[in-house]
């Protein structure tokens, strides 16, 4: 039987202090205003960038989308994203990372005549530009896409359409609604005024369905890479958002993809989304990995 090692009480604080001093401390992240000038939009794409204050080698990237009537300053402002990310990184919940928050207006994150090729710009221009500018893990396991409300739909569409580029998808109060029948009654179509001119006025079912998350899920190539998904919504959120999130979560699981769904105390508000993002980061952390090879 081994003799236990007894550390005198006066020595223990010194040992603990040495351990704490030896552990790397998270210095925090800094948010800057950036622009992507060379894109197929024909105009600059503004984005906010959360980056470590000090160099830490190659890092994963979280693409974070705003909601309707928002812009690239939403997550850094009322979303207090620097505070949320700093806390999660300092606590070891997620590794240090970059967060990229583009501003796309009320485009619904799709290509349209009203706003131009927004979805294609995000996937084919912004990602390569970020990977060229920053020391990123430039592979699907090093990328996540997340968003709230309109941005939740955008994140799901981006992740499902480009599973080779994103390993994880996070939807917070996502606008995840059923497809519209081709012969839908005009009274049904009138409920979609929030989409503006993106899908026509009144909306054209074929254009709307081309950007529908349920149909995008059904079109996911097989075999091929499969993203993991996280859905969350407030218990006082709009009923259509709660139902849509739950239905898509169930359909994702039915197709054999990994999916989680959370109902958070709150409504369609920043308090719910900040808590939702903090919860999602704990799920995301183990899924962010360096590129193989």
Q: What is the 3-state secondary structure of 200-259?
A: CCCCCHHHHHCCCHHHHHHCCCCCCCCCEEEEEEECCCCHHHHHHHHHHHHHHHHCCCCE
Which pLDDT band, with edges at 50, 70 and 90, does 7 fall under?
very low
Query: What pLDDT, in 10s, does the model give residues 132-144?
Result: 999 999 999 999 9
Which pLDDT band, with edges at 50, 70 and 90, does 24 fall under?
low
Judging by DSSP bridges, how do beta strands 116-117 and 111-112 pair with one another?
antiparallel
Which pLDDT band, with edges at 50, 70 and 90, does 39 fall under?
confident
pLDDT at residue 221 in the model? 87
Which pLDDT band, with edges at 50, 70 and 90, does 192 fall under?
confident
Place of tokens 């990372």: 97
The mean pLDDT value of the chain amounts to: 90
Most confident stretch, 7-11, 144-148, 194-198: 144-148
Hey, CA dihedral for 137, 142, 147, 153, is it positive or negative? positive
Is the pLDDT score of 33 beyond 90? Answer: yes
Is the pLDDT score of 165 beyond 70? Answer: yes
For the chain, the straight-line distance linking the first and the last C-alpha, in angstroms and rounded, comes to: 45
How far is Cα 66 from Cα 43, in angstroms, rounded to an integer? 19
pLDDT at residue 55 in the model? 67
pLDDT average, residue stretch 253-263: 97
Which pLDDT band, with edges at 50, 70 and 90, does 120 fall under?
very high
pLDDT at residue 116 in the model? 96
CB burial of 92-112 (b: ≥16 within 10 Å; e: otherwise) equals ebbbbbbbbbbbbebbbbbbb
pLDDT at residue 26 in the model? 74
* Domains observed in the chain: 27-177+212-287 (3.40.50.1820)
Which pLDDT band, with edges at 50, 70 and 90, does 187 fall under?
confident
pLDDT at residue 188 in the model? 73
User: What is the total residue count of the chain?
Assistant: 293
pLDDT average, residue stretch 251-266: 97
């Amino acid at each position: 039987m081994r003799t236990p090692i007894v550390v005198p009480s006066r020595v223990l604080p010194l040992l603990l202090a040495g351990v704490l001093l030896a552990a790397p401390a998270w210095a925090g992240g800094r948010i800057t205003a950036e622009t992507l000038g060379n894109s197929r939009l024909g105009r600059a794409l503004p984005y906010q960038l959360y980056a470590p204050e000090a160099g830490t080698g190659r890092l994963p990237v979280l693409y974070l989308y705003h909601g309707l009537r928002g812009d690239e300053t939403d997550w850094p402002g009322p979303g207090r994203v620097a505070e949320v990310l700093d806390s999660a990184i300092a606590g070891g919940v997620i590794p240090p990372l970059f967060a990229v928050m583009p501003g796309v207006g009320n485009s619904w994150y799709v290509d349209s005549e009203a706003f131009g090729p927004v979805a294609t710009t995000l996937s084919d221009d912004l990602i390569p530009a970020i990977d060229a500018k920053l020391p990123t893990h430039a592979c699907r396991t090093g990328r996540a896409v997340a968003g709230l409300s309109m941005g939740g739909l955008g994140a799901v569409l981006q992740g499902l359409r480009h599973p080779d580029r994103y390993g994880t998808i996070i939807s917070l109060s996502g606008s995840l609604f059923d497809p519209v029948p081709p012969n839908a009654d005009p009274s049904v179509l009138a409920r979609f005024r929030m989409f503006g001119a993106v899908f026509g006025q009144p909306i054209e079912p074929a254009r709307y369905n081309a950007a529908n998350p349920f149909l995008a899920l059904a079109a996911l190539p097989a075999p091929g890479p499969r993203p993991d998904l996280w859905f969350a919504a407030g218990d006082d959120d709009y009923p259509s958002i709660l139902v849509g999130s739950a239905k898509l979560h169930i359909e994702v699981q039915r197709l054999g993809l990994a999916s989680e769904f959370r109902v958070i105390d709150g409504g369609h508000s920043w308090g719910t989304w900040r808590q939702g993002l903090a919860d999602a980061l704990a799920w995301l952390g183990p899924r962010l990995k360096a590129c193989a090879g």
